[in-house]
Amino acid sequence: MIYNFCTFIEKQQRVDMYLSALFNDFSRSYIQKMIDRWQVSINGITISKNLKIKNRDIVNVEITIEKLMEIAPEKMDFDIVYEDDELIVLNKEAGINVHPVPGENWNKNTLVNWVLSHCKDKLPSIWWVERPGIIHRLDKDTSWLIMIAKSDSMMNYLADIIKNRNIDKYYIAIVFWKIKDREFKIESYIWRDPNNRLKMTALNPVNPKIAITYWTVLEYIENKYTLVKLKIETGRTHQIRVHLSSIGYPILWDKTYGNLRVNKEAATIYQLHRQALHAYQLDLKLYWKDIQFKAEIKDDMKRIIWDLGII
């Protein structure tokens, strides 16, 4: 996979540090190996890992994945919302990685393992080999409605409608404190935190990208939480989590952007041990007609809502 982009940064920084913050799936040492193998060029010239990148540089990065043979098919229990010869729609549990990531047992118990087992040879020949048929990049600790293509034509179609924003994505979240505005729009630039490559930020981000989120308040919970319905116009990494945290309403039990004291309280009272965010609805045009997919809210979030008689 080849990435071409122009940098937008305030001050110069080492290219390996910049790229490891931008591509957080890869360690800094892996980025350095890519540079050593001439997979990175700046302004059309291959470079060394200690080169400093500056504003308005043209960056070309060629990522090659060589681990597919190490990813084995694996039977797992997933909630299938819809399936035909071209497409699968799943309601993914929180706590399951979508694709292999560096670490112990990196190639086990992921959605990719299940896809390779469930679909066998009925998968697209295109796209990144570590994510066969999967076009979403999803947080491990969020429950999700996720689409998986089983053919090249469906893969291309889904990628195209997502790129052109011809799909509506809706979420349910429980946030700390009471949001006074019943409806609101957040529009800001977000991307990598220059001081922590594992986080996104709305404050001086690396290579900022516009992000737009809408919310509607559904109900207040115990006079200190808010149940909200959200729609995203853009699909930036951690977008909803960063946006809500940036205006003072972090998602309950968000260990990266949330409130530690509130998270501990939620874990004790409701046995909630992951961020209270669920992607529950996708609206799109499929097979020449309007289609809506919905995924039931998971039990750990239901406990908080049911206790108050909201649903």
- Active site residues per annotation: 139
Answer whether 207's CB lies under 8 Å from 55's CB: no
Among residues 36, 39, 63, 64, the alpha carbon closest in space to that of 50 is found at 36
Annotate 141-158 with DSSP letters as a single string: TSBEEEEEESSHHHHHHH
Output the DSSP codes for 81-141: EEE-SSEEEEEEPTT--SS--SSTTTTSSSHHHHHHHHHTT-S-SSS-TTSTTB-----TT
Q: Please name the residue that has the structure tokens 């990144």.
A: 128
Element (H or E) spanning 291, and its range? strand 289-294
- Looking at residue 81, its amino acid is V
Query: Whose structure tokens read 């043979």?
Result: 69
Pairing of strands 196-201, 2-6: unpaired
**Amino acid identity of 108?**
K
User: Are 28 and 16 contacting, i.e. CB atoms less than 8 angstroms apart?
Assistant: yes
The CB-side HSE value for 198 (13 A sphere, CA atoms) comes to 5
Angle at 20 between CA 15 and CA 22, to 5 degrees: 95
What's the N-to-C CA distance of the chain in angstroms? 44
